[in-house]
Structures are given as C-alpha cells and as structure tokens.
Amino acid sequence: MVSVDVPVVVGLDNGGTSNNATVLSLDGRFLVDGLVETPSEVTAGPQAAIEALAGAFDGVLVHAGVPRGLVRAVGLDTPGPASATGVISSRGSTNFAQPAWHGFDVRGALERRLGLPVIYHNDGNAAALYAHHVHFGADAATRSSVAAIVGTGLGGAVVVDGRVVTGAAGMAGEFGHVHIPLAGLLAPDQPEPRCACGFTGDAESVASLTAIRRNLLPYWLSRYPGHPLAQEPPERAATLLRGYAERGDALAREVFAQQAAALGRLFTIAANFTDPHAYFVGGGVVEAAPEFRDWFLDAVRAHTVLREEQAALATFALVPDRDMAGARGVAIAAAEAVRPAGTPPAATPPADVPVD
C-alpha cells in the first residue's frame, strides 16, 4: 500500500463480462499494478451495470488506499458503437443488446451516480491513447499516432498532440469501415470479403475475428483439404487459428498474412491523411507468442507504403498491456481534462508503484 496525498483520477474499462479499474495520480503515477476486475453486469441491464461500475470505482480506491475525496474525475470506456459523449447506439451493440441499452447515456448515468465528472471514450480510443502516451512519454503532447485494434471487429483511433480525435459525431478513427484496395491482397479466385456492416472490401472484412470466420478461413480451408480446423465448428476454428499460426502452420499464416496486408493498406491510407509519428497494432496479436507477434508487425510494416520522409520518422509498435490499456487510457484522458493549464502532461510508463 502506498501513501497518497495528491489528487487522482479513476479509469474504468467496461467490458462484456468484467470491469477493470485503475487509479492515476495527477503527478503521473499509476497506483494500481495489474488488473482489478469485477463483474460488469451489462447483461442485467443499464441500472445493474451502472451500480457495477460504481462498485468497481469504490473497490479500486480501497485497493489503492486512496480516499474518495482525492478523486477529481473518472474516465470511462465501453465498446462501441456509441457517440463521443457516451450515448450507446440506438441500435445497441454486441455488449448492449437489450432494448433498455439502446440510446442509453452511459456516461451521464455514471456521472450522476458518482457525483463526479466522467470523461468518455470507446474502448479502441482508450487503448490507442494509452499506447500513444506510453510510447512517447513526455513528448506525447507533441506527437501523433494512429492505431488499429483487431478484435471481433476492427477498432481504431487517431491521436493528435496527445488527444483522441473524436470527430463531430464521435466516429473519427473508425478504421474498420474504411475501404481498402483488394487487388493483390486476395488470391485470384478468392471471393471479395463482406463486412457485417454491409460493406464489401472494408478493412474489417479482412482484419477481424469475424472476417476470419466468415470470409478468410472458409476460403483457405478449401485450399488446404484435410486441415484439422475443417473438423471444428466455424466459431471455434476461428479462435484456434492463432495457435496454429504461432506454430508456423501454412494455412494459418496465409490468413494472417492477408490480415497484415490489409492493415498495411489501411495505414497507407492513414499516412496520406494524418502523416502520424507512430502506427500501433492492438488486439489478440499482442498476446501471441513473440515470434508470431514480430512476424505479424513486420508484415504490417512491409505493406505500409510511406514516402521516404515519412519512413524516416515513423515507428510501428504494438499496443502494450492489452488487458489494462483501456482503463489506463481513459484515466489519462480524465487526468488531461482536469489538470490545470500549463502543467506537464501525465507521465504514463507502465505502473511503477506496487500497491501490496
């Protein structure tokens, strides 16, 4: 336990099954080392979920030994789609399927429950913000980055001068639905991939777990008759694929090579719009074996076409601390929102203050 006598913010990362929480002091120290998880209760509806978030808030303060009176703000992230102010889509989402969630102002509800300012980002933006600040440290406020977060779908974010670009409707950085060139990416007889959103040939239709299940794996299994994954149900086969890729399986590497190429083409588009200092890749690949992780990031880099001047300045990296990145990212956003003008930005290396 550490003694804390400076103001803090709390970061809350809301997921389908768990909430993860962290505490960041305004002098730049993460006071929680590791995961502090509690059930999210989102399937029980908005009221139960807000109470669960309030419980996660109280619990992490006890865990870190921080009095509630020192908290100046709360950062909250949830999966999308949601507005820039934290209103869940009127159509709901995978995590917020019940009708009561449709159009629900989750940020406002938590703010009223806690009686503290709540700063909202979606989970992709939060992870990208954390990656940006960890990577650039004290220079974060003068650098830019883009991030692609590969999960069930494909999330993303644009960070400029250390802050997430949200856009007018909160939909900036939705890289999953940017159309990418397919020529040379697909095999000659491979069907054009369709996204769950209805688009054909957007980035998510190739670079996502859903894309593996619906588009890529069925085709590649037809090219590798007798492969063990052909005997598995499609959902399970898709989730098992990364393990095969880590072991160098030829079919699995074909699939992930296409995903890496898709991300490279996406980053090429981003390079011509934002010209960032860094390109981050997050998602399940971060948890993969080091050899596969490096191979995948190298493939993304190889397929990202940069001008000579851009290549001299740009870096490629993985989003660190995947399980904690969301909570830490929104904690950083909350700290930036309440920090007095003219003070240094949050220092955000991995947590360096053990609590036990």
Q: What is the pLDDT of residue 60?
A: 97
State yes or no: pLDDT of 348 exceeds 50: no
State yes or no: pLDDT of 342 exceeds 80: no
Beta bridge partners of 8: 25, 71
**What average pLDDT does range 263-291 have in this prediction?**
94
Between β-strands 154-160 and 144-150, what pairing exists: parallel, antiparallel or unpaired? Answer: antiparallel
Kindly report, residue by residue over 101-122, the tens digit of the pLDDT.
999 999 999 999 999 999 999 8
Higher pLDDT residue, 61 or 82? 61
Nearest to 49, CA basis, from 85, 115, 95: 95
Q: What is the pLDDT of residue 354?
A: 35
State yes or no: pLDDT of 345 exceeds 80: no
**What average pLDDT does range 8-29 have in this prediction?**
94
Q: What is the pLDDT of residue 4?
A: 65
Q: What is the pLDDT of residue 152?
A: 83
Kindly report, residue by residue over 222-257, the tens digit of the pLDDT.
999 999 999 999 999 999 999 999 999 999 999 999
3-state SS, one letter per residue, for the chain: CCCCCCCEEEEEEECCCEEEEEEEECCCCECCCCCCEEECCHHHCHHHHHHHHHHHHHHHHHHHCCCHHHEEEEEEEECCCECCCCEECCCCCCCCCCHHHCCCEHHHHHHHHHCCCEEEEEHHHHHHHHHHHHHHHHHHHHCEEEEEEECCCEEEEEEECCEECCCCCCCCCCHHHCECCCCCCCCCCCCCCECCCCCECEHHHCCCHHHHHHHHHHHHHHHCCCCHHHHCCHHHHHHHHHHHHHCCCHHHHHHHHHHHHHHHHHHHHHHHHCCCCEEEEEEHHHHCCHHHHHHHHHHHHHCCCCCHHHHHHCEEEECCCHHHHHHHHHHHHHHHHHCCCCCCCCCCCCCCCCCC
Mean pLDDT estimate for the chain: 91
State yes or no: pLDDT of 311 exceeds 90: yes
Of the given ranges (73-82, 141-150, 186-195, 329-338), which has the lowest mean pLDDT?
Answer: 73-82
Q: What is the pTM of this model?
A: 0.88
Kindly report, residue by residue over 140-195, the tens digit of the pLDDT.
999 999 999 998 888 889 999 999 998 887 778 888 889 999 999 999 999 999 99
Q: What is the pLDDT of residue 280?
A: 97
Query: pLDDT tier at 135 (50, 70, 90 boundaries)?
Result: very high
Cis check: omega of the bond before 345, within 30 degrees of 0: no
State yes or no: pLDDT of 51 exceeds 80: yes
Q: What is the pLDDT of residue 351?
A: 42
Instruction: Give the integer Cα–Cα distance in Å for 10 and 334.
Output: 8
Beta bridge partners of 38: 19
Instruction: Give the integer Cα–Cα distance in Å for 107 and 87.
Output: 7
